[in-house]
Amino acid sequence: MKNLPINSELFTQNRERFTRRMQKNSIAIFVSNDEMPSNGDAIYKYKTNSDLYWLSGVTQEDSMMILFPDNPDPKYREVLVLVRPNELKEKWDGKRLRTKEAQDLSGIKTIVWLDSLDGILQPWIHLADTIYLDTNENDRKASLIRTRDYRFADEMKSRYPLHHYERAAKIMKDLRGIKTALEVEIIQKAIDITDSTFRRLLKFIRPGVMEYEIEAEIVHSFLSQRATGEAYGSIIASGDRARTLHYVSNNEECKDGELVLMDFGAEYGGYNADLTRTIPVNGKFTRRQKTVYNACLHLHDYAKSLLKPGITIAAYTDKVGEEATQQFLKIGLLKKSDVKNEDPENRAYRKYLYHGISHHLGIDVHDLGTRTEPVKPGMVFTVEPGIYIEDEKMGVRIENNVWITKNGNKDLMKNIPITVEEIESLMKK
């Protein structure tokens, strides 16, 4: 990875958090993701398994993490499994981790090579009563491909059918939803890189610039600041294209008089930022653009004020919807009759705000975390209301990232320009 070394205590804390939740005399095994084939002899850029990274900090393919807190031999209570460095392969694909490097990175003392694992794993399995296996239980998962974690689960159950099996993902959803201070420190670094990139864009954007040129500036700025790259495909949507939530074509001209919605974030040290700002291409909001923008900013601030421990996402969404209704009446998008006659299952405001307001953020952009239980201290959320007006060919979204505290939240993006006045002033300079 391009980032500076991460404090291995972050991963040590994460392993301790997980092992405290394990049943007595149990073993947990986490495997890396597949290297996915593309076309010809090519493969897609490798992305490590998020749970494996959370536990170890390792991003290398063909890796495993084994946790066995009750192993009679203390040396093997936490084990990092890596592919053995191969001189010929390294001539083609680059250097692989050595023992000392892996120890420093992960904080794990015992490193085992993958090609010698079978002979020592089986006795550990025989000693254990319960086996924790990990699969992807992100609620947004849509792929039907049977990935390595599912295949590994099939293999283990076939070889050891009489053991008791538990879902590691159920614990992971709870733990990864609550960020430690060390994790937030890395998220803040990704946010700071995103902040400086946005300020760069305010000086760069002008009528006639192409959306892909803005995207190129983002990638250049990220990489020059040691980010791994984009947290996700940047959305650079000018004019009417801003109403398309996941617009990623980024191939049109930004024209005088239009707004451009930019949804982008840096990945740093395995953690992500997620920022959205909507700015005038020519540096000056029209009166109507300013009205809509300020209504969206009001919703943003209102939503942020609600995100405190104890509220559920359902209640939070309902409250933001009530406020959105009032704002849309105020700026002429809705009439009182629209509200009076609305369908409770498809409320009137949904015509202009048709997505969720917040999601968990962390190692994954749409990170693990509960959607049904009350918000808890330590969670990191996006806050991203939008207003999308088909008749006016306009879309506005404003997004910050907040860390939930004991009594409220901390806006991790509080230093990033957000008001009409701040944006216009910096674009003018």
Here the tokens at position 319 are: 């409250």
For the segment 107-122, what is each residue's pLDDT rounded down to a tens digit? 999 999 999 999 999 9
Q: What pTM did the predictor assign? A: 0.96
For residue 203, the model assigns a pLDDT of 97
Strands 110-113 and 78-82: parallel
The answer to whether the CB of 166 falls within 8 A of the CB of 130 is: yes
C-alpha torsion 385→390→393→397, nearest 10: 10
Flag whether pLDDT at 88 surpasses 90: no
* Number of other CB atoms surrounding residue 220 within 10 Å: 12
Residues 6+ apart with CB under 8 A from 337: none
The region of weakest confidence among 43-47, 85-89, 388-392, 421-425 is: 85-89
Provide the 3-class DSSP secondary structure of residue 255: coil
- Tokens 């860390």 locate to 403
Which structural domains are found in the chain, ordered by start?
9-176 (3.40.350.10), 181-428 (3.90.230.10)
For the segment 316-365, what is each residue's pLDDT rounded down to a tens digit? 999 999 999 999 999 999 999 999 999 999 999 999 999 999 999 999 99
For residue 145, the model assigns a pLDDT of 86
Strands 64-67 and 394-397: unpaired
